[in-house]
Chains A and B, each alone.
Chain A
Amino acid sequence: MRQELLEKIEKHLGLLPASHKELEEINQDQEVLDNASLMKDFMMAIEAHGNNALKEDMRSWDLELQAESPKKDQQGQRAPKDEEAPASIPKAVLEQYFAPNPSYEINMVAAMRGASLDLLFPANGFEWTQPITNFVFTDQLLEGSKYRIENNQSKVLQEGELYSDEEQKIEFNLSEQHPGRYYLKFFNDRDTKILCFFIQKDLLPE
């Protein structure tokens, strides 16, 4: 292939700049048109080849990442804090978005009547950037109570006991859960309290 012809084909395919007049002439050149389909196939092949080469590079970057920190790949690495991460979603929106467990909704009103216990954190649902988190409450929890975390299908996800002589701390692994409405139930021989919370992950409208 002559250099002049190659350049004409490249101009025809927009790979090299060309004036309008020049393009008009090139687009009528039969030799250019005859070779253009081959060149189009070449461009498709080079896209695929280039992408494959990049994927090969990415595989080697993965290996480098694993070598740098074997746990990073499994646990996920936290990127720098981003001010543009999905904004906190109002609780009212979460309540509409995630279905409640109807029987608990009635129980909750009765159980929480007159109680000052509520969740300080999370106020509007846990964000997906936190794999494991602690709950923070507005008031002391029930003394010597057991607790249970359930999803809205009443499936028990975690349970334990809270001892009054220790820090009343509940750790919950968010990474294993789906976005949705969850319940945190405290109960002892005398009383039951039910709180509801949300895991929103990066809830965004589809």
Chain B
Amino acid sequence: MKEKRSKDDNIWIERVKANPDAALKDLYKLLQGEFQQWLGDHYGLKAEEARDVFQETMLSFYENVRHGKLTQLDSSIKTYLFAIGKYKAISFLRKYRKEEKLDMESYQIQSDKKAAGNFLNGSDQDGEERVDMIRELLSKLKDPCQSIILGFYFHKKTMVEIAQQLNYNSPDVAKAQKYRCMSKFIGFVKKKS
């Protein structure tokens, strides 16, 4: 039964690869209520916190599919997601409790350690600023560049899939368009840096 269930649920991986938006939406709607109630009952998370943990769980699942880390399920999709959710809830609680306990003294110690770490390792402040700046520029991107860049770099779609999605005649057209978008975008980033 377990083997059959995991085999059946592998369809979710295929669906997510083929059409992430629709598949994630269906999965989200299927499990949201039960998952969030479980987080509330078992880990005492408030509704908003449970929602955040559930969304992070869905993102982790999608990330694992996108990056090819999850190609086959050994359990049902529900068991898989609840296992991720359990880990996320515990991490959330640890972080939350840690923050609650943080008084000024320990904050000072943390800050000193961080400062020492930055001194030893070299601060990554510039890198972080650049990432933030690129994020801001990405949010301003217009279509078709937004769809192509997100499709290729985030959703890991092939140029064939992107061409189909945007009704281009061939993958080469999509590829040329992607190059134009990226070239322009990198130009903006360099100019802003």
Residues of A in contact (CB 8 Å), total 48
Judged by a CB distance under 8 angstroms, whether B69 is at the interface is no
List 21 interface pairs A-B (beta carbons < 8 Å), by A numbering: A6-B179, A6-B183, A6-B186, A41-B127, A46-B150, A46-B154, A49-B135, A49-B150, A49-B154, A54-B59, A58-B28, A62-B32, A73-B33, A82-B5, A83-B5, A84-B75, A128-B41, A129-B34, A175-B37, A202-B38, A204-B86
Interface residues of A (CB under 8 A from B): 1, 3, 6, 15, 37-38, 41-51, 53-55, 57-58, 61-62, 64-65, 72-73, 75-80, 82-85, 128-129, 131, 175, 178-179, 201-202, 204, 206
Q: Which of B130-151 contact A (CB under 8 A)?
A: 130-132, 134-135, 138-139, 149-150
Total A-B pairs, Cβ < 8 A: 125
Q: Which of B42, B86, B130, B154 contacts A179 (CB 8 A)?
A: B42
Nearest CB of chain B from residue A201's CB, rounded to whole Å: 5
Judge whether B12 is part of the interface by a CB distance below 8 angstroms. no
B154 touches A77 (CB 8 A): no
- A75 to chain B minimum Cβ distance, whole angstroms, is 7
Q: Is the CB of B131 within 8 A of A45?
A: yes
**Contact yes or no, B1 A83, CB < 8 A:** yes
Using Cβ atoms and an 8 Å threshold, which residues of chain A touch B24? 54, 57
- Indicate if B108 sits at the interface (CB-CB under 8 A): no
B139 lies within 8 A of A49 (CB): yes
In the complex, what residues of A have CB within 8 A of residue B21's CB?
57
Q: Does B189 contact A (CB under 8 A)?
A: yes
- Cα(A179)–Cα(B127), bound, Å: 46
Q: Is there an interface contact between A50 and B76, defined as CB atoms closer than 8 Å?
A: no
The chain B residue sitting closest to A68, CB to CB, is B29
A61 touches B28 (CB 8 A): yes
A77 pairs with B139, CB closer than 8 A? no
In the complex, which of the residues B34, B76, B127, B179 contacts A77, with contact meaning CB atoms closer than 8 Å?
B34
From B90, B134, B150, A42 is in contact (CB under 8 Å) with B134
Q: In the bound complex, how far is the Cα of B135 from the Cα of A31, in angstroms?
A: 24
Task: Closest B residue to A42 by CB, please name it.
Answer: B134
Instruction: Give 5 nearest A-B pairs by CB, closest first.
Output: A77-B33, A76-B37, A50-B154, A45-B134, A45-B135
- A75 to B47: give the CA distance in the assembly, Å: 11
How close is A174's CB to chain B, nearest CB, in angstroms? 8
Give the interface centre of B5, B62, B130 by most chain A CB atoms within 10 Å: B130
